[in-house]
Amino acid sequence: DNTCHTNTDDATSFRATLTSDGSAIITTYADANCELAQSSTDFTKRSEMCLPQRHCADGSIHGCAKRFSVGGLKRSAPSGLMTAIAIYERSCEEIPLQVLAFPDSTCEATAMGIDGCNDWSDNWFYYSSNCIVDSTDFTASKFRDAPYLLVEKYAEGTNCGAQLYAIAYRSDSDCHPSGFDKTHFRVSLNENNSVTIATFPSGLCRDSDAETTYVTVGSSYINTGACFNGTIRLSANLTAFSGQAPSLDAYKTREQIMFPDWLWDPTPRRIFESD
């Protein structure tokens, strides 16, 4: 709010300012009254969108060193405008890996259309940025006939009334890298038309990894407008799904992986005791 605030140590202070072009300035002070400037840092609109930078402070390959979010402005983007970022693995001409869209009060209607194809260099990805009015239509135009799942995230306690962002995933039952962090993902259609989203900590995409997570959403929440868990709406191109997720019975327990059935043939499992 461009005013001086004292930190919790009662000895230092800071001032944060949002500019008209969507960037931010954070100034820290060595005193409690914002008189002895210590440092001043400018954050561009791109860093606030958390696009990976070429020289990330943490040295990560995917994702960015820091994430910035702006809140408390008590206003929405004009005319429902949103900034959309499509992430590609090799070329902006191919089907994207992901599409992220979020309300953006600085998005210019005159900036409609593709803002070129940009190389993330060290991050191995390409991206294009657009100013859009509808994340559903934009996602469909990007994925064309390819399968995808669009997840619209809403603020807690609003019952899908205040949208925070929307993110779409390529959904061909294959494992793909995420352009926004170090994880990999796999989205698959199950036999009962539910959808399973698996998130893996690495490119090995092993179901047995302890950090692997699964979220399965029933068909009653897909393309119906229903609010899932009070914060999510989902839409998908189900007819384009080219594969199916393995049934839940196919996911082996750690015991089955370490001690497969063939290990016990021809005798059943036994307990060994020793003195």
Please give the average per-residue pLDDT across 19-33, as a whole number: 78
Quick check: 55 pLDDT over 90? no
Query: For 20-24, 100-104, 265-269, which range has the lowest pLDDT when averaged over its residues?
Result: 265-269
My answer on whether 24 and 118 are in the same domain is no
My answer on whether 27 and 162 are in the same domain is no
Peptide bond into 266 cis (omega under 30): yes
Quick check: 244 pLDDT over 60? no
**Helix, strand, coil % in the chain, rounded to nearest 5:** 15, 30, 55
My answer on whether 141 and 14 are in the same domain is no
My answer on whether 23 and 106 are in the same domain is no
Quick check: 93 pLDDT over 60? yes
Please tell me the predicted confidence (pLDDT) of residue 91. Answer: 87
My answer on whether 243 and 148 are in the same domain is yes
My answer on whether 21 and 138 are in the same domain is no
**Top-confidence range, 9-23, 112-126, 177-191:** 177-191
My answer on whether 135 and 208 are in the same domain is yes
Residue 258 in domain: no
Contact of 143 with 237, CB cutoff 8 Å: yes
Quick check: 209 pLDDT over 90? no
My answer on whether 188 and 103 are in the same domain is yes
Contact of 102 with 80, CB cutoff 8 Å: no
More confident residue, 6 or 64: 6
Quick check: 266 pLDDT over 90? no
Residue 270 in domain: no
Q: Which domain holds residue 32?
A: 10-42
Q: Is 242 helix (H, G, I), strand (E, B) or coil?
A: coil
Residue 105 in domain: yes
Q: How many domains does the chain have?
A: 2
**Top-confidence range, 30-39, 165-174, 199-208, 237-246:** 165-174
My answer on whether 36 and 86 are in the same domain is no
Mean residue pLDDT across the chain:
77
My answer on whether 195 and 135 are in the same domain is yes
Quick check: 135 pLDDT over 60? yes
Quick check: 148 pLDDT over 80? yes
Please give the average per-residue pLDDT across 149-177, as a whole number: 93
| Reported confidence tier of residue 121, pLDDT bands at 50, 70, 90 | low
Residue 101 in domain: yes
| Reported confidence tier of residue 208, pLDDT bands at 50, 70, 90 | confident
Instruction: With residue 142 as reference, give the H or E element that holds it.
Output: helix 135-143
Residue 3 in domain: no
CA distances from 154 to 50, 57, 103, 229 (A): 19, 30, 12, 10
Please tell me the predicted confidence (pLDDT) of residue 268. Answer: 52
My answer on whether 140 and 205 are in the same domain is yes
Pick from 177, 169, 181, 167: which is nearest to 205 by CA? 177
